[in-house]
Amino acid sequence: MLLSNPQTRLLAVLLLFAGVAFAQQPAPPTPAVLRLTLKEAVQLGLKQNPRAVIARLLQLESVSNSKIALAPLLPQAAMTADGALSQYNLLSVERLPKRQAAGPFQYIEAGPAFSQSVFSLPLWRGYQIGREGVRQARADVETSREDVVASVVAQYLLVLRALATFDAAQARVALAQRLYDQAAQLQKTGIGLNIDTVRANVELQNERQNLIDAETETHTTKYVLAELLDLPREQEIDTVDHLDYFDLPSFDRDLLLTRALASRPEIRSIASQQRSANLATRSIADQRYPELDFSGHWLYQGAHFNDGIPAYEYALSLEFPIFTGGRIRAEETRAKLEEQHVAEARRQLEAQIVREVKSAIDQLNAARHAVDVANLGFQLANEEVAQAQRRFAAGVTTNVEVITAQDELARASDNQIEALYRFNQSRADLAHSLGEIENTYAK
């Protein structure tokens, strides 16, 4: 038999114990739920969101490009070494009656070679453009960070709205359950009608359906927030903050517009683009000026290593363009068109910023009033439900009034949640339009 061999039996026992040990290994622990405040979510988004990471990488790339543009303006040096052994036929250079070899000739040379641009305006303009590129990249990083913060704040507020809607749905289900129990009890005592019980049951099922939808909304909004924060796929998150209302000072529209046009990172970015375009135009015009370069070398030369002597050369080269076939003029025209294009883009951006600031101020002011109205409506709807419930319990009316009051309460509750959400979102939109959303929510 197969197991008659002692070594085979020992191997089978070891495999059996290994399988049992593997089967008894505990499953990997499930990560704990990550509870985040709005500030913590924003800070995590700035750290991990791919858009913010890409912006930082592009900034590092612009710094490298600036260093590359600076390099031609700095001295260049290299070590060079050559050696050759050559022979050629004299018939290739003069008339001879027969072929005759010349050589072989041997030489070696080794030493440093160097060069330096003495005067070149296009190279200097290129370095200036590289520095403007760094400034633009920094502004673009700030723009990306502002956008990431705005996205995280907006999604966090959506999660808060979904949770508030879920809590309100739970409260309405509990209320509908009490009213259904009341209708059923009144029917048992002979005071109520079966239609009242059925009507209350229909309202209860409607509220249960709304609760299911609200619970689903809490999950899906959290998934989007987790995506913005670049969390692991198995990580569950929860929020700590709640939708809240707080009084804000009045705003001076003209002052806010001036501040936004001065502080928005998009303005600084496009200003760097304008300066870069202007430098590019000047760099093309500077091609009409002469360029002066210095170069040279110091070499140890000889036929062999033991019979060489120092050899050197220093050279100045001056290049003055006379005719370029219209290339410089055409490039100037193209560069000036690019300047005009960037200028128009800036005008469009400024108009957009003005519109965003004005809209955010108006929406925030409207949201303030909407919160007051919604709170009063919710209070009145609660009183209406209580009165209808007492009238129904006293047998004065059917529960049609109760169901109607329940619907009004549901609408008032939704209005209150929506008003609080709009207030908080409008505040975030105003901070974003001013270019200050990161300072507002991440500091």
Residue 83 confidence (pLDDT): 86
Q: Which tops the pLDDT comparison, 178 or 356?
A: 356
The pLDDT, as a whole number, for residue 215 is 94
pLDDT band for position 16 (cuts 50, 70, 90): low
Domains of the chain, earliest start first = 32-73+120-291+326-441 (1.20.1600.10)
For residues 230-249, give the mean pLDDT: 88
pLDDT band of 29, cuts 50, 70, 90: low
pLDDT at position 217 is 94
Tell the burial category of 253 from Cβ atoms under 10 Å away from its Cβ (0-12, 13-18, 19+): exposed
Model pLDDT for residues 285-314, shown as the tens digit of each residue: 888 888 889 899 888 888 877 888 888 888
Give dist(CA 169, CA 146) in Å, integer.
34
pLDDT on residue 21: 43
Helix or strand run (H / E) with residue 344: helix 327-393
- The answer to whether the CB of 392 falls within 8 A of the CB of 424 is no
- What pLDDT is stored for residue 303 in this prediction? 81
Q: Is pLDDT at 248 greater than 90 in this prediction?
A: no
- Element of type H or E holding 238: strand 237-239
Check: CB of residue 411 under 8 Å from CB of residue 165. no
Task: Write the pLDDT tens digit of every residue in 104-147.
Answer: 888 888 889 888 888 888 888 888 888 998 998 999 999 999 99
Encode 304-320: b = buried (16+ Cβ within 10 Å), e = exposed.
Answer: eeeebeeeeeeeeeeee
Out of 173-187, 301-315, 335-349, 376-390, give the one with best mean pLDDT: 335-349
pLDDT given for residue 312 in this prediction: 86
